[in-house]
């Protein structure tokens, strides 16, 4: 049973201006946090965030006031709570509070570097206290492969489903308004055979093939023993950006944008700015943005040029600046209520899907990537979007025509990131 608030909780003195849980956790960086609105304003706290974490296995709970971050943990019944506070070091690392202790200093630096765009931006409450998370690279990689051509509520639901199917159970939390079962994110060695089939049945669609292929490639690269894949990915934190990105892009389902998200949010590459049509629109507002790039379709060259332009304006912490700018422009919040063990109960929009049966019937053999192919592997989602649109328009066409378009999709090694095709 969890400790009573606030007597059994610990606290970290920190302002929401320097870390704001509501602006950081549910906005598309990490997808396994449960967000629960409290029945009453308890000690200045209006909501609670929780998730299962490892080493040792437990559930971490966090609440926030105008002056403090409160936290506590719930351990399995058969596990003894350690004498030392293991939660505070986890929080400090996850939110990068020691590496980057002052967001105010970062904001001042961005305003000085970019007075014409960031310097005049209205950074309101929605961008208050936004931080880039330092996530586990294995979880981050799987999450962003899942995110291709997807939206936050659906990504959240899929990843909770994945965790409850393959991950180890930790505790069941009894609350006044129900119970919630927590599971650890599954380790790489916990996935068995026929993964693609299982993931398709769970709703992952064409992304199921990407995830199975990625796991096979990582096992061939690092081995299949427990922990070796996770350790191998963590080692990329010390690697050069180019090398780390190249290692990621070799994985099926990982193009330039997904690779850059993983680099920024788990591999300590703070200067990396993931580019999509949204960030292209942001860059286009800058007075000095090259005219030839305005309204230009996304391509490998455009991606590089837009990223270089923004990195030059925002400096070595450009990825963090991008997170703030993204929060400023975010139009809708994910639903705050989250009591379901499979993620928020939301009505999902209709998402165009590819006929997975037709794709499965085609034998796809991975080949070694040439330098020319590698240059083409960066922007893969546009092809998926075009294919989905075409499928919708030709729903009543012959089966032969559909299979032909599907074969084209597979032959071009489409892997599904927004606005990108390799």
- Residue 168's CB: how many other CB atoms inside 10 A? 16
Q: Do 422 and 255 touch, CB atoms closer than 8 A?
A: yes
312 and 274 within one domain: yes
Q: Structural domain of residue 277, as residue ranges?
A: 99-130+270-332
Q: Do 417 and 379 touch, CB atoms closer than 8 A?
A: yes
Cα(366)–Cα(405) distance, rounded to whole angstroms? 19
> What domain count does the chain have?
2
In a domain, 283, yes or no: yes
328 and 368 within one domain: no
Q: Do 146 and 124 touch, CB atoms closer than 8 A?
A: no
In a domain, 106, yes or no: yes
328 and 289 within one domain: yes
| Predicted local distance difference test score (pLDDT) of residue 377 | 40
Q: How far is CA 183 from CA 60, 160, 168, 395, in A?
A: 12, 9, 5, 40
In a domain, 15, yes or no: no
| Predicted local distance difference test score (pLDDT) of residue 177 | 66
321 and 280 within one domain: yes
**CB-based contacts of 332, cutoff 8 Å, min separation 6:** none
Q: How far is CA 12 from CA 59, 97, 153, in A?
A: 18, 11, 30
Rounded to 5°, the CA angle 342-345-349 comes to: 110
In a domain, 77, yes or no: no
- Look up residue 70 and give its two tokens: 């409160």
**CB-based contacts of 88, cutoff 8 Å, min separation 6:** 10, 12, 71
φ and ψ of 245, to 5 deg: -65, -45
Cα(129)–Cα(95) distance, rounded to whole angstroms? 11
In a domain, 207, yes or no: no
In a domain, 13, yes or no: no
* Among candidate residues 332, 348, 365, the one where a domain is terminated: 332
| Predicted local distance difference test score (pLDDT) of residue 328 | 80
pLDDT digits (tens, 9 = 90+) for 200-250: 999 999 999 999 999 999 999 999 999 999 999 999 999 999 999 999 999
pLDDT digits (tens, 9 = 90+) for 46-71: 999 999 999 999 999 999 999 999 99
Relative to beta strand 169-175, strand 178-183 is: antiparallel
Question: Would you please indicate which residues are annotated as catalytic (active-site) residues?
Answer: 257
| Predicted local distance difference test score (pLDDT) of residue 126 | 87
361 and 327 within one domain: no
* Closest by CA position to 322, among listed 250, 380, 285, 270: 270
In a domain, 53, yes or no: no
The low-confidence residues of the chain, meaning pLDDT below 70, are: 176-177, 330-422
For residue 112, the surrounding DSSP H or E stretch is helix 103-113
* Closest by CA position to 279, among listed 258, 298, 254: 298
Cα(107)–Cα(371) distance, rounded to whole angstroms? 39
Q: Do 335 and 382 touch, CB atoms closer than 8 A?
A: no
Cα(99)–Cα(113) distance, rounded to whole angstroms? 21
In a domain, 383, yes or no: yes
Cα(64)–Cα(20) distance, rounded to whole angstroms? 8
360 and 323 within one domain: no
* Among candidate residues 280, 298, 332, the one where a domain is terminated: 332
**CB-based contacts of 73, cutoff 8 Å, min separation 6:** 58, 59, 60, 61, 81, 86, 87
Sheet holding 45-53, edge to edge: 10-13, 68-74, 58-64, 45-53, 34-42
Q: How far is CA 187 from CA 14, 138, 231, 253, 268, in A?
A: 32, 8, 11, 19, 21
Q: Do 343 and 156 touch, CB atoms closer than 8 A?
A: yes
* 3-state SS class at 241: helix
């Amino acid at each position: 049973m969890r400790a009573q608030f606030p007597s059994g909780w610990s606290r970290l003195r920190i302002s929401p201006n320097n870390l704001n849980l509501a602006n950081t956790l549910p906005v598309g960086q990490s997808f396994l946090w449960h967000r629960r609105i409290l029945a009453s304003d308890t000690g200045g706290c209006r909501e609670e965030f929780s998730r299962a974490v490892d080493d040792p296995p437990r559930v971490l709970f966090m609440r926030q006031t105008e002056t403090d971050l409160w936290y506590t943990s719930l351990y399995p019944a058969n596990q003894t709570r350690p004498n030392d506070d293991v939660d505070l070091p986890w929080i400090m690392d996850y939110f990068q509070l020691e590496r980057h202790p002052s967001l105010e200093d970062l904001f001042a630096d961005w305003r000085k570097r970019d007075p014409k765009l960031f310097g005049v931006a209205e950074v309101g409450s929605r961008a208050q206290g936004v931080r880039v998370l330092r996530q586990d690279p294995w979880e981050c990689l799987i999450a962003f492969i899942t995110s291709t051509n997807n939206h936050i509520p659906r990504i959240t639901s899929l990843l909770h489903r994945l965790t409850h199917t393959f991950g180890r159970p930790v505790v069941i939390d009894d609350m006044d308004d129900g119970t919630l079962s927590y599971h650890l994110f599954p380790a790489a060695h916990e996935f068995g055979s026929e993964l693609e089939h299982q993931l398709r049945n769970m709703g992952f669609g064409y992304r199921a093939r990407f995830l199975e292929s990625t796991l096979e490639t990582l096992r061939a690269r690092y081995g299949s023993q427990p922990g070796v894949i996770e350790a191998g990915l963590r080692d990329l934190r010390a690697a050069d950006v180019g090398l780390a990105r190249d290692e990621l892009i070799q994985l099926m389902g990982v193009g330039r944008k997904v690779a850059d998200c993983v680099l920024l949010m788990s591999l300590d590459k703070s200067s990396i700015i993931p580019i999509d049509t949204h960030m292209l629109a942001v860059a286009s507002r800058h007075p000095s943005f090259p005219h030839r790039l305005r309204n230009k379709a996304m391509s490998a060259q455009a991606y590089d040029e837009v990223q270089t332009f923004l990195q030059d304006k925002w400096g070595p912490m450009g990825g963090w600046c991008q997170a703030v700018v993204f929060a400023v422009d975010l139009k809708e919040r994910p639903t705050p209520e989250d009591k379901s063990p499979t993620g928020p109960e939301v009505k999902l929009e209709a998402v165009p899907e590819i006929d997975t049966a037709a794709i499965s019937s085609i034998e796809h053999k991975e080949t070694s990537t040439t330098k020319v192919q590698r240059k083409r592997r960066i922007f893969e989602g546009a092809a998926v979007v075009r294919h989905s649109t075409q499928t919708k328009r030709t729903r009543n066409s012959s089966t032969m025509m559909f299979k032909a378009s599907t074969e084209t999709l597979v032959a071009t090694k489409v892997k599904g990131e927004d606005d990108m095709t390799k």
